Amino acid sequence: MNSFGEIFRLTTFGESHGPALGGIIDGMPAGLEVDIKAVQQELDRRRPGQSAIVTGRQENDRVTFLSGIFEGKTTGTPIGFTIANTDQHSKDYEEMRHIWRPSHADMTYTMKYGMRDHRGGGRASARETAARVVGGALARQVLSRHGITVAAYTSSVGPVTTPLPYSSMSLASAYDNDARCPDKDVAEEMIRLIKEVKKKGDTIGGTVTCVVSGVPAGLGEPLFDKLQSRLAAAMLSIPAAKGFDYGMGFDGCGSLGSEMADTFIPDGNGGITTATNHSGGIQGGISNGSDIYFRVAFKPVATLLRRVDTTDDTGRPTQLQARGRHDPCVLPRAVPIVEAMTAMVILDAFLKNRTTRL
Protein backbone atom coordinates (compact mmCIF):
# COMPACT_ATOMS: atom_id res chain seq x y z
CA MET A 1 0.00 0.00 0.00
CA ASN A 2 0.94 3.61 -0.27
CA SER A 3 1.01 4.54 3.39
CA PHE A 4 4.06 4.51 5.61
CA GLY A 5 4.14 4.72 9.39
CA GLU A 6 1.70 4.05 12.16
CA ILE A 7 1.25 7.27 14.10
CA PHE A 8 3.21 9.67 11.91
CA ARG A 9 1.97 8.38 8.59
CA LEU A 10 2.73 9.49 5.04
CA THR A 11 0.41 8.42 2.23
CA THR A 12 1.53 9.28 -1.30
CA PHE A 13 0.20 9.30 -4.85
CA GLY A 14 1.45 10.17 -8.26
CA GLU A 15 3.08 8.99 -11.42
CA SER A 16 5.98 10.62 -13.16
CA HIS A 17 3.84 11.81 -16.05
CA GLY A 18 0.53 12.79 -14.49
CA PRO A 19 -0.32 16.39 -13.61
CA ALA A 20 1.14 16.13 -10.11
CA LEU A 21 2.31 13.89 -7.35
CA GLY A 22 1.83 14.48 -3.67
CA GLY A 23 0.82 13.11 -0.36
CA ILE A 24 -0.91 13.43 2.98
CA ILE A 25 0.95 13.56 6.28
CA ASP A 26 -1.21 12.32 9.12
CA GLY A 27 -0.32 12.34 12.79
CA MET A 28 1.92 15.40 12.68
CA PRO A 29 2.06 16.76 16.22
CA ALA A 30 0.12 19.99 16.64
CA GLY A 31 1.41 23.45 17.37
CA LEU A 32 4.80 23.30 15.69
CA GLU A 33 6.11 26.09 13.52
CA VAL A 34 6.91 24.81 10.06
CA ASP A 35 9.95 26.01 8.18
CA ILE A 36 8.72 25.73 4.62
CA LYS A 37 12.00 26.93 3.13
CA ALA A 38 13.80 24.05 4.82
CA VAL A 39 11.34 21.63 3.25
CA GLN A 40 12.04 23.12 -0.15
CA GLN A 41 15.78 22.88 0.43
CA GLU A 42 15.52 19.15 1.04
CA LEU A 43 13.43 18.77 -2.10
CA ASP A 44 16.10 20.66 -4.02
CA ARG A 45 18.71 18.20 -2.81
CA ARG A 46 16.71 15.30 -4.23
CA ARG A 47 15.82 17.09 -7.44
CA PRO A 48 17.57 16.05 -10.66
CA GLY A 49 19.55 18.48 -12.75
CA GLN A 50 21.80 19.77 -10.03
CA SER A 51 25.21 18.61 -11.19
CA ALA A 52 27.16 16.98 -13.96
CA ILE A 53 26.84 13.53 -12.44
CA VAL A 54 23.08 13.27 -12.20
CA THR A 55 20.30 13.31 -14.78
CA GLY A 56 19.81 16.50 -16.73
CA ARG A 57 16.06 16.58 -16.24
CA GLN A 58 14.94 19.92 -14.89
CA GLU A 59 12.24 19.18 -12.39
CA ASN A 60 11.13 22.21 -10.54
CA ASP A 61 9.73 20.31 -7.61
CA ARG A 62 7.88 23.13 -5.87
CA VAL A 63 5.81 21.82 -3.00
CA THR A 64 2.39 23.36 -2.37
CA PHE A 65 0.84 22.77 1.03
CA LEU A 66 -2.95 22.58 0.95
CA SER A 67 -3.97 21.98 4.56
CA GLY A 68 -2.91 21.26 8.11
CA ILE A 69 -0.77 24.38 8.54
CA PHE A 70 -2.45 27.52 9.82
CA GLU A 71 -0.72 30.82 10.47
CA GLY A 72 2.60 29.03 10.14
CA LYS A 73 1.89 26.25 12.61
CA THR A 74 0.75 22.65 12.35
CA THR A 75 -2.83 22.21 13.48
CA GLY A 76 -2.69 18.47 14.13
CA THR A 77 -4.92 17.84 11.11
CA PRO A 78 -3.60 16.14 7.97
CA ILE A 79 -1.15 18.04 5.81
CA GLY A 80 -2.01 17.62 2.14
CA PHE A 81 0.51 18.68 -0.47
CA THR A 82 1.19 18.47 -4.19
CA ILE A 83 4.24 18.82 -6.41
CA ALA A 84 3.41 19.57 -10.01
CA ASN A 85 5.00 17.57 -12.82
CA THR A 86 6.35 20.18 -15.17
CA ASP A 87 9.21 18.83 -17.23
CA GLN A 88 7.63 15.76 -18.76
CA HIS A 89 8.77 14.40 -22.07
CA SER A 90 6.00 11.83 -22.37
CA LYS A 91 6.80 11.14 -26.00
CA ASP A 92 10.21 9.83 -25.04
CA TYR A 93 8.37 6.85 -23.73
CA GLU A 94 5.82 6.08 -26.44
CA GLU A 95 7.85 3.25 -27.92
CA MET A 96 7.97 1.62 -24.49
CA ARG A 97 4.28 0.92 -24.45
CA HIS A 98 5.03 -2.60 -25.57
CA ILE A 99 8.59 -2.96 -24.43
CA TRP A 100 9.60 -3.89 -20.93
CA ARG A 101 12.88 -2.38 -19.85
CA PRO A 102 15.18 -5.04 -18.35
CA SER A 103 15.44 -5.00 -14.53
CA HIS A 104 12.70 -2.39 -14.34
CA ALA A 105 9.20 -2.68 -12.95
CA ASP A 106 7.61 -2.56 -16.40
CA MET A 107 6.93 -6.26 -16.55
CA THR A 108 5.90 -6.78 -12.96
CA TYR A 109 3.43 -3.88 -12.95
CA THR A 110 1.90 -5.24 -16.13
CA MET A 111 1.65 -8.73 -14.66
CA LYS A 112 0.16 -7.52 -11.40
CA TYR A 113 -2.24 -4.87 -12.60
CA GLY A 114 -2.93 -6.10 -16.12
CA MET A 115 -1.76 -2.77 -17.50
CA ARG A 116 0.59 0.07 -16.69
CA ASP A 117 1.23 3.73 -17.31
CA HIS A 118 4.27 3.21 -19.51
CA ARG A 119 5.42 6.80 -19.46
CA GLY A 120 8.56 7.36 -17.44
CA GLY A 121 8.10 4.36 -15.23
CA GLY A 122 4.68 5.48 -14.05
CA ARG A 123 4.22 4.89 -10.37
CA ALA A 124 7.51 2.97 -10.24
CA SER A 125 9.43 6.07 -11.24
CA ALA A 126 11.86 7.34 -8.64
CA ARG A 127 10.05 10.61 -9.05
CA GLU A 128 7.64 9.45 -6.34
CA THR A 129 10.41 9.90 -3.80
CA ALA A 130 9.83 13.65 -3.89
CA ALA A 131 6.73 13.08 -1.74
CA ARG A 132 8.82 11.10 0.73
CA VAL A 133 11.26 13.97 1.03
CA VAL A 134 8.45 16.31 2.02
CA GLY A 135 7.30 13.91 4.73
CA GLY A 136 10.83 13.41 5.92
CA ALA A 137 11.56 17.12 5.99
CA LEU A 138 8.64 17.74 8.32
CA ALA A 139 9.63 14.80 10.50
CA ARG A 140 13.15 16.19 10.79
CA GLN A 141 11.86 19.51 11.99
CA VAL A 142 10.11 17.76 14.85
CA LEU A 143 13.11 15.59 15.65
CA SER A 144 15.56 18.46 15.66
CA ARG A 145 13.52 20.15 18.38
CA HIS A 146 14.23 17.08 20.47
CA GLY A 147 17.93 17.04 19.71
CA ILE A 148 17.77 14.22 17.18
CA THR A 149 19.70 14.60 13.93
CA VAL A 150 19.76 12.43 10.83
CA ALA A 151 22.71 12.58 8.44
CA ALA A 152 23.45 10.34 5.47
CA TYR A 153 26.20 10.30 2.89
CA THR A 154 27.53 8.31 -0.03
CA SER A 155 29.95 5.83 1.51
CA SER A 156 30.85 3.98 -1.68
CA VAL A 157 30.42 4.18 -5.45
CA GLY A 158 31.39 0.98 -7.19
CA PRO A 159 34.72 -0.03 -5.66
CA VAL A 160 35.48 3.49 -4.41
CA THR A 161 34.81 3.48 -0.67
CA THR A 162 35.67 5.94 2.02
CA PRO A 163 37.89 4.24 4.59
CA LEU A 164 36.92 6.72 7.29
CA PRO A 165 34.46 5.82 10.02
CA TYR A 166 31.50 8.19 10.14
CA SER A 167 32.62 9.53 13.47
CA SER A 168 35.77 11.02 12.03
CA MET A 169 34.02 13.04 9.34
CA SER A 170 31.87 16.14 9.43
CA LEU A 171 28.68 14.67 8.07
CA ALA A 172 27.13 18.08 7.59
CA SER A 173 29.61 18.65 4.76
CA ALA A 174 28.23 15.77 2.67
CA TYR A 175 26.15 18.16 0.59
CA ASP A 176 29.18 20.30 -0.19
CA ASN A 177 30.20 18.15 -3.15
CA ASP A 178 28.34 16.44 -5.98
CA ALA A 179 29.11 12.94 -4.73
CA ARG A 180 27.73 13.74 -1.30
CA CYS A 181 30.60 12.11 0.46
CA PRO A 182 32.12 14.09 3.35
CA ASP A 183 35.50 12.49 2.64
CA LYS A 184 36.55 15.07 0.04
CA ASP A 185 39.33 13.13 -1.61
CA VAL A 186 37.23 10.06 -2.00
CA ALA A 187 34.37 12.23 -3.23
CA GLU A 188 36.53 13.40 -6.09
CA GLU A 189 37.37 9.84 -7.02
CA MET A 190 33.70 8.97 -6.94
CA ILE A 191 32.85 11.85 -9.22
CA ARG A 192 35.57 10.85 -11.64
CA LEU A 193 34.29 7.29 -11.70
CA ILE A 194 30.69 8.32 -12.28
CA LYS A 195 31.67 10.58 -15.17
CA GLU A 196 33.63 7.78 -16.74
CA VAL A 197 30.78 5.34 -16.39
CA LYS A 198 28.36 7.89 -17.79
CA LYS A 199 30.53 8.47 -20.82
CA LYS A 200 30.19 4.76 -21.66
CA GLY A 201 26.42 4.92 -21.31
CA ASP A 202 26.67 2.67 -18.31
CA THR A 203 25.63 3.00 -14.67
CA ILE A 204 27.12 2.09 -11.31
CA GLY A 205 25.92 1.25 -7.76
CA GLY A 206 27.13 1.96 -4.26
CA THR A 207 26.17 2.43 -0.65
CA VAL A 208 24.73 5.16 1.51
CA THR A 209 25.57 5.26 5.20
CA CYS A 210 23.15 6.97 7.59
CA VAL A 211 23.69 8.07 11.18
CA VAL A 212 21.05 9.11 13.69
CA SER A 213 22.37 10.94 16.74
CA GLY A 214 20.69 12.10 19.88
CA VAL A 215 18.09 9.34 19.90
CA PRO A 216 16.86 8.67 23.42
CA ALA A 217 16.92 5.09 24.69
CA GLY A 218 13.60 3.29 24.37
CA LEU A 219 12.49 3.75 20.76
CA GLY A 220 11.28 0.68 18.85
CA GLU A 221 8.49 -1.81 19.49
CA PRO A 222 9.41 -5.48 19.82
CA LEU A 223 8.76 -8.04 18.50
CA PHE A 224 7.82 -7.20 14.98
CA ASP A 225 8.26 -3.46 14.96
CA LYS A 226 11.82 -3.47 16.13
CA LEU A 227 13.56 -0.27 15.16
CA GLN A 228 15.83 -2.13 12.72
CA SER A 229 12.78 -3.82 11.12
CA ARG A 230 11.18 -0.48 10.47
CA LEU A 231 14.39 1.01 9.16
CA ALA A 232 15.01 -1.98 6.91
CA ALA A 233 11.50 -1.85 5.50
CA ALA A 234 11.86 1.87 4.92
CA MET A 235 15.17 1.54 3.14
CA LEU A 236 14.17 -1.40 0.96
CA SER A 237 11.13 0.57 -0.20
CA ILE A 238 13.43 3.08 -1.91
CA PRO A 239 13.81 2.45 -5.64
CA ALA A 240 17.07 0.58 -6.49
CA ALA A 241 17.80 -0.37 -2.88
CA LYS A 242 19.02 -3.96 -2.60
CA GLY A 243 20.24 -4.34 0.96
CA PHE A 244 20.37 -3.01 4.49
CA ASP A 245 22.55 -3.69 7.48
CA TYR A 246 23.12 -1.91 10.76
CA GLY A 247 25.85 -1.82 13.33
CA MET A 248 28.42 -4.50 12.59
CA GLY A 249 26.11 -5.76 9.84
CA PHE A 250 27.32 -8.22 7.24
CA ASP A 251 30.92 -7.45 8.14
CA GLY A 252 30.37 -8.73 11.67
CA CYS A 253 29.28 -12.17 10.49
CA GLY A 254 32.85 -13.29 10.29
CA SER A 255 33.71 -12.09 13.78
CA LEU A 256 33.68 -13.69 17.20
CA GLY A 257 31.27 -12.72 19.94
CA SER A 258 34.15 -11.68 22.15
CA GLU A 259 35.20 -9.14 19.54
CA MET A 260 31.73 -7.76 18.99
CA ALA A 261 30.28 -7.35 22.50
CA ASP A 262 29.68 -3.74 23.52
CA THR A 263 31.01 -3.93 27.06
CA PHE A 264 29.38 -1.68 29.63
CA ILE A 265 31.72 0.72 31.38
CA PRO A 266 31.21 3.58 33.84
CA ASP A 267 30.80 6.83 31.93
CA GLY A 268 32.68 8.90 34.47
CA ASN A 269 29.57 10.79 35.54
CA GLY A 270 27.97 8.12 37.64
CA GLY A 271 26.22 6.62 34.65
CA ILE A 272 26.95 3.84 32.23
CA THR A 273 28.13 3.76 28.67
CA THR A 274 29.62 1.17 26.37
CA ALA A 275 33.19 0.87 25.21
CA THR A 276 32.14 0.27 21.61
CA ASN A 277 29.01 0.53 19.47
CA HIS A 278 29.10 -2.58 17.31
CA SER A 279 25.38 -2.92 18.02
CA GLY A 280 24.65 0.18 15.98
CA GLY A 281 22.63 1.83 18.73
CA ILE A 282 19.88 -0.79 18.87
CA GLN A 283 19.55 -3.84 21.12
CA GLY A 284 16.55 -6.12 21.15
CA GLY A 285 14.89 -3.80 18.67
CA ILE A 286 15.05 -0.80 21.00
CA SER A 287 17.40 2.20 20.78
CA ASN A 288 20.00 2.34 23.53
CA GLY A 289 20.97 5.99 23.29
CA SER A 290 24.13 5.48 21.22
CA ASP A 291 24.32 6.57 17.58
CA ILE A 292 22.23 4.48 15.24
CA TYR A 293 24.07 3.79 12.02
CA PHE A 294 23.32 1.63 9.03
CA ARG A 295 24.12 1.11 5.37
CA VAL A 296 21.87 0.84 2.33
CA ALA A 297 23.02 -0.91 -0.85
CA PHE A 298 21.92 0.59 -4.16
CA LYS A 299 22.21 -1.26 -7.43
CA PRO A 300 23.49 0.32 -10.62
CA VAL A 301 20.34 1.79 -12.17
CA ALA A 302 18.88 -0.42 -14.82
CA THR A 303 18.42 2.15 -17.56
CA LEU A 304 21.55 2.25 -19.69
CA LEU A 305 22.08 5.16 -21.99
CA ARG A 306 22.92 2.98 -24.95
CA ARG A 307 21.12 0.54 -27.15
CA VAL A 308 20.36 -2.80 -25.44
CA ASP A 309 18.86 -6.05 -26.68
CA THR A 310 15.51 -7.06 -25.25
CA THR A 311 12.13 -8.41 -26.35
CA ASP A 312 8.78 -6.73 -26.66
CA ASP A 313 5.91 -7.90 -24.48
CA THR A 314 5.07 -10.68 -26.92
CA GLY A 315 8.57 -12.11 -26.77
CA ARG A 316 9.72 -10.75 -30.13
CA PRO A 317 13.39 -9.65 -30.00
CA THR A 318 13.93 -5.94 -30.38
CA GLN A 319 16.32 -3.24 -29.26
CA LEU A 320 15.74 -0.54 -26.73
CA GLN A 321 17.29 2.91 -26.80
CA ALA A 322 16.36 4.77 -23.64
CA ARG A 323 15.66 8.34 -24.60
CA GLY A 324 14.60 9.70 -21.25
CA ARG A 325 17.16 11.42 -19.12
CA HIS A 326 18.59 9.19 -16.45
CA ASP A 327 21.13 9.08 -13.66
CA PRO A 328 24.38 7.22 -14.27
CA CYS A 329 24.55 6.70 -10.51
CA VAL A 330 21.66 6.96 -8.09
CA LEU A 331 23.81 7.46 -5.01
CA PRO A 332 24.09 11.24 -4.69
CA ARG A 333 20.34 11.69 -5.07
CA ALA A 334 19.63 8.74 -2.77
CA VAL A 335 21.23 10.51 0.19
CA PRO A 336 18.35 12.92 0.94
CA ILE A 337 15.84 10.12 0.36
CA VAL A 338 17.53 7.87 2.89
CA GLU A 339 17.50 10.75 5.34
CA ALA A 340 13.82 11.39 4.74
CA MET A 341 12.76 7.79 5.28
CA THR A 342 14.93 7.57 8.38
CA ALA A 343 13.47 10.70 9.89
CA MET A 344 9.95 9.35 9.44
CA VAL A 345 10.82 6.02 11.05
CA ILE A 346 12.44 7.66 14.05
CA LEU A 347 9.64 10.17 14.60
CA ASP A 348 7.02 7.44 14.37
CA ALA A 349 8.90 5.40 16.98
CA PHE A 350 9.37 8.49 19.12
CA LEU A 351 5.64 9.20 19.14
CA LYS A 352 4.71 5.59 19.72
CA ASN A 353 7.06 5.38 22.67
CA ARG A 354 5.05 8.07 24.44
CA THR A 355 2.37 5.44 25.01
CA THR A 356 4.65 2.90 26.74
CA ARG A 357 4.55 4.30 30.23
CA LEU A 358 1.99 6.56 31.86
Residues 149-168 interacting with a second copy (rule: CB under 8 A) = 156, 158-159
Please tell me whether residue 103 binds a second copy under the rule CB under 8 A. yes
Q: Compute how many residues bind a second copy; rule: CB under 8 A.
A: 156
As to burial, measured by CB atoms within 10 angstroms (0-12 exposed, 13-18 middle, 19+ buried), residue 9 is middle
- Distance, in Å, from the CA atom of 291 to the CA atom of 171, rounded to the nearest integer, reads 13
Q: Which of 262, 292, 324, 342 binds a second copy (CB under 8 A)?
A: 262
Q: Which of 230, 291, 333, 345 binds a second copy (CB under 8 A)?
A: 230
Nearer to a second copy, 47 or 119 (CB): 119
Please tell me whether residue 98 binds a second copy under the rule CB under 8 A. no
- Distance, in Å, from the CA atom of 326 to the CA atom of 38, rounded to the nearest integer, reads 26
Give the pairing of strands 79-84 and 63-65: antiparallel
Nearer to a second copy, 58 or 311 (CB): 311
Site track for a second copy across 58-97, x = CB under 8 A:
------x-xxx-x--x-xxxxxx-x---------------
Nearer to a second copy, 49 or 78 (CB): 78
- Distance, in Å, from the CA atom of 34 to the CA atom of 72, rounded to the nearest integer, reads 6
Q: Which of 37, 91, 317, 319 binds a second copy (CB under 8 A)?
A: 317
Nearer to a second copy, 112 or 184 (CB): 112
Cβ atoms of 219 and 227 within 8 Å: the answer is yes
- Distance, in Å, from the CA atom of 9 to the CA atom of 24, rounded to the nearest integer, reads 8
For the CB of residue 188, give the shortest distance to a second copy in the complex, in Å: 19
* Residue 150, strand partner residues: 212
Nearer to a second copy, 43 or 349 (CB): 349
Please tell me whether residue 205 binds a second copy under the rule CB under 8 A. yes
Restricted to residues 270-299, the positions that interact with a second copy (CB under 8 A) are: 270-272, 274, 278-280, 282-289, 295, 297-299
Please tell me whether residue 325 binds a second copy under the rule CB under 8 A. no
Nearer to a second copy, 9 or 192 (CB): 9
SS3 for 11?
strand
Q: Which of 234, 337, 343, 345 binds a second copy (CB under 8 A)?
A: 234
Restricted to residues 20-39, the positions that interact with a second copy (CB under 8 A) are: 20-24, 26-27, 29-32
Q: Which of 87, 94, 176, 313 binds a second copy (CB under 8 A)?
A: 313
Please tell me whether residue 187 binds a second copy under the rule CB under 8 A. no
Nearer to a second copy, 81 or 170 (CB): 81
Residues 6+ apart with CB under 8 A from 21: 12, 13, 14, 15, 82, 83, 85, 127, 128, 130, 131
Backbone φ and ψ for 32, nearest 5 degrees, come out as -100, 135
- Distance, in Å, from the CA atom of 39 to the CA atom of 47, rounded to the nearest integer, reads 12
As to burial, measured by CB atoms within 10 angstroms (0-12 exposed, 13-18 middle, 19+ buried), residue 147 is exposed
For the CB of residue 351, give the shortest distance to a second copy in the complex, in Å: 4
With CB under 8 A as the contact rule, which of the stretches 38-46, 54-62, 180-188, 261-269 interacts with a second copy? 261-269
Nearer to a second copy, 176 or 199 (CB): 199
Q: Which of 33, 237, 307, 321 binds a second copy (CB under 8 A)?
A: 237
Angle subtended at Cα 278 by Cα 274 and Cα 283, rounded to the nearest 5 degrees? 75
- Distance, in Å, from the CA atom of 244 to the CA atom of 230, rounded to the nearest integer, reads 11
Residues 6+ apart with CB under 8 A from 54: 48, 178, 327, 328, 329, 332, 333
Please tell me whether residue 266 binds a second copy under the rule CB under 8 A. yes
